[in-house]
Structure 1
Amino acid sequence: MKTGHQKLSGNSYLMNPFPHLNKNQIGTENATMVMLVRNSELEGALQSMRSLEDRFNRHYKYPYVFLNEVPFSDEFKERTSLMASGETYYELIPEKDWLPPPHIDEDKLNQNIEKSQDIIYGWSKSYRNMCHFNSGFFYKQKILDNYDYYFRIEPDVEYMCDFQYDPFTFLRENNKDYGFVIAIHEYENTIPTLWETVKNFTKDYPDLIHPNNSLDFITTKEVDINYGFNISDNDSEYNLCHFWSNFEIGNLNFFRSDAYNTYFNYLDQAGGFFYERWGDAPVHSIGLNLLMDKNRIHHFEDIGYYHVPYLACPTSIDVKTSKRCFCKTRGLDHDVLTTPIDAEPFSCLARWWRYGSGKKFLNEIDYTFSH
């Protein structure tokens, strides 16, 4: 169609609407982004991808792996593949990995759902399937056998700063196996028997507990560390702290290990993913705190991130300026949100500094200011 002619309805006048892009990977690591997402969440997926592409991946072109319990629509595939700078792959989750396992009593599950209407997502069977999958099955998907590292992405998130380096390379070069940005407390009524199950696991498998573990991070309870705020006054040793797994960058080989799978299978047999509403964040975190050397866990303090309702952003003016951070967004009530979660009393980050791998005030990254 020549310039100046009348436009036809639709896009039929475009002979080649989507130009071919060079999607050859530039990043040097055996890594991928991973998103568990539904077709109905397409717009949220595109928002997250656009933000991550602008802030990081357009310079590296790492691939994306999309996971769904039903087949992806052609529209989802087309629009996400056009948003990505790297290759995109779409994997259908096997039913056996998504649905409750055979040992789960469906009647007991349904009864608990009925009793859990006032618990966050307690009313949702699908949410329980998701937490169960993310805890013990995402890393078993065949397509991920090709990779060593993963970057978990959720729909409807924002990345608030330029990365300026490859986080996968950072983990490998610094002998780290897991990275997080937010550490907070779990909702206590979602995990009433989780800690008792974990304690039984440690008694039955003491040899699996790493000698340089970060158990103190999840069992200490002094309140001077968070403005005197007491998140839990129950008798459990567990203080409810966990890494918020909506953002995690990690080594898949840890989750593939015999130690982690023994741990997950032990929890799975207890049934708490379905008879209660155990989340994958505390399950991942407790597994990491017990089974991994705490020095192999890294807090990415320089990665700005927002997922409703929490914002994480660097506090250093130099880092924020260098990385072009914009630490301002809209919260759940549409009010302007500028305060990072780390400054709130229910953050567990200060506890991680005290009992985890510490706090390094001189960042390892050589930031450069660009014009």
Structure 2
Amino acid sequence: MHDQQIPLDAWTQKEVRGALYMIVRNENLPDARATIRVIQDRFNDKAKYPWVLLNNQYFNADFKRHVSSITTPKNVSVYFGKIDTDAWAYPSWVDVPRAENALWDLFGVARGESLSHHQLLRYQAGLFFYHPLFDNVEYTWRVEPGAMYTCELDFDPFKMMKAGKKKLESFMQQHPEWIKPRNQTIMPWITHRNKENTKDEYNFCHMWSNFEIADLSFYRSEAYRYYFDHLDSTGGFFYEKWGDPVRTLAAAMFLDRNEVYFFDQIGYTKDGISHCPLQSGYLQKCTCDSADSHDMLENSCTLDLLRYSDPPTFDALMNYARTKLPPQLSLDLNNTDILKQVIKKKDQLEAFIKDQERRHLAVE
């Protein structure tokens, strides 16, 4: 048997009907237990939000017993759901031979050859919130098995999202009324202007949705459902590898930039990629080093996102970086490539400063 619904009394005396959810299989029990354990320790032992675990197969008794042994002593509810077969299988309009050939073409792309991975990406992009276990849920925190959280949370992300009212071209021509003005959104973050034809082109920046806290009213909105259905009707989730950019493009089209929030306070590591708080005030509660954060790598777009979505945090980073520079050296810290170099580890920073001082002397 599997659970069908979370009763409303699961949120007695809570301001927000939030839920942590994970899509996981029986064989991934060790990773699931490790991640649930750390989130319970860091946050949910006290907050006591319910967990929703989903599987495209039935959860076995061992899985349920080992997970419940973490949550039950803390009076935290866990609901074990099964993903509907129709939502996981090939939809009727997909050309199956073409899709199977596409798996071979995507061999070498991260999990691109895995049919189950394509099914998971499609389900996460636009189907998970239809599961009856989310009928009474307002906000979800997506949790990936194997992810580690490296900071103590002494605040409630669900409350913060609700209090701050945060949410997370043929189509655009058909429904222009749904598209927010470019200068009110994060669209400038994910596009650059082509100087030859003055058109905006996608720059491949996107928000990684492995850690995502979302207001489900966004995904349930007419605009998002139409957007997903349009993408789904093309079969692209099976012919291509469509994942995080699907969410990012939706956020850029349908949300004001102040409805997108970057949780700098939450340290996170998954598959070798990590985020550690960029602001020094948060680091006292963490076991990570911001200099090792993926945000500091050359190919990261995080700081550019903050420029659009959270200017106060971006300004705080520039002020922090200035404290690391000698007073005689003036650099354009609004340039995120330079800002990343200044925030790096001490030995790397010293080499960078010496290089910049040589450049300044050469110019003089």
The interval holding the TM-score normalised by the smaller chain is 0.7 to 0.9
Contact map agreement 1:311 1:338 (CA 8 A) in 2? no
Write out aligned runs for 1:1-371 (5 A): 27-84=14-71, 85=74, 86-178=76-168, 199-211=169-181, 212-220=184-192, 237-279=201-243, 281-321=244-284, 323=285, 325-327=286-288, 339-360=292-313
- What RMSD in Å do the two structures reach over aligned CA positions? 2.1
**Residue 315 (structure 1) shift:** 3.1
Change over 3 Å in CA distance of 1:306–1:59 after alignment to 2: same
Structure 2 CA distance, aligned partners of 1:255 and 1:24? 21
**Residue 236 (structure 1) shift:** 7.9
Contact map agreement 1:113 1:123 (CA 8 A) in 2? yes
Moved over 6 A (4+): 23-26
Where structure 2 has 5 or more consecutive residues not aligned to the other structure, the ranges are: 1-9, 318-364
Where structure 1 has 5 or more consecutive residues not aligned to the other structure, the ranges are: 1-22, 179-198, 223-234, 329-336, 364-371
**Residue 207 (structure 1) shift:** 1.4
State the partner residue of 2:356. Answer: none
What secondary structure does 1:65 align onto? strand
Change over 3 Å in CA distance of 1:172–1:24 after alignment to 2: closer
Contact map agreement 1:26 1:59 (CA 8 A) in 2? no
**Residue 143 (structure 1) shift:** 0.8
What secondary structure does 1:89 align onto? strand
Contact map agreement 1:27 1:61 (CA 8 A) in 2? no
**Residue 214 (structure 1) shift:** 1.9
Contact map agreement 1:27 1:166 (CA 8 A) in 2? no
Contact map agreement 1:154 1:246 (CA 8 A) in 2? yes
Contact map agreement 1:72 1:90 (CA 8 A) in 2? yes
What secondary structure does 1:299 align onto? coil
Structure 2 CA distance, aligned partners of 1:99 and 1:236? 35
Contact map agreement 1:31 1:147 (CA 8 A) in 2? yes
2:56 alignment partner AA? E
**Residue 357 (structure 1) shift:** 4.1
Give the TM-score normalised by structure 1: 0.76
Which shifted more, 242-251 or 209-218?
A: 209-218
Deviations 1:189-212 (A, max 9, x none): xxxxxxxxxx22212221111233
**Residue 355 (structure 1) shift:** 3.0
Structure 2 CA distance, aligned partners of 1:269 and 1:299? 31
**Residue 175 (structure 1) shift:** 1.6
Contact map agreement 1:25 1:63 (CA 8 A) in 2? no
Change over 3 Å in CA distance of 1:314–1:34 after alignment to 2: same
Structure 1 CA distance, aligned partners of 2:264 and 2:117? 29
Higher RCO (Cα < 8 Å, 6 or more apart): 1
Structure 2 CA distance, aligned partners of 1:220 and 1:272? 24
Contact map agreement 1:304 1:314 (CA 8 A) in 2? yes
**Residue 119 (structure 1) shift:** 1.7
Larger % of helix: which? 2
What secondary structure does 1:32 align onto? strand
2:175 alignment partner AA? Y
Contact map agreement 2:264 2:276 (CA 8 A) in 1? yes
Contact map agreement 2:140 2:213 (CA 8 A) in 1? yes
Deviations 1:127-170 (A, max 9, x none): 10000000110111111011100000000111111111000001
Contact map agreement 1:128 1:273 (CA 8 A) in 2? yes
Give the TM-score normalised by structure 2: 0.78
Contact map agreement 2:206 2:248 (CA 8 A) in 1? yes
Structure 2 CA distance, aligned partners of 1:312 and 1:114? 33
Structure 2 CA distance, aligned partners of 1:78 and 1:24? 23
Change over 3 Å in CA distance of 1:63–1:41 after alignment to 2: same
**Residue 105 (structure 1) shift:** 0.6
**Residue 87 (structure 1) shift:** 0.2
Structure 2 CA distance, aligned partners of 1:44 and 1:58? 19
1:133 alignment partner AA? Y
**Residue 25 (structure 1) shift:** 6.5
Structure 2 CA distance, aligned partners of 1:296 and 1:122? 32
What secondary structure does 1:96 align onto? helix
What secondary structure does 1:83 align onto? helix
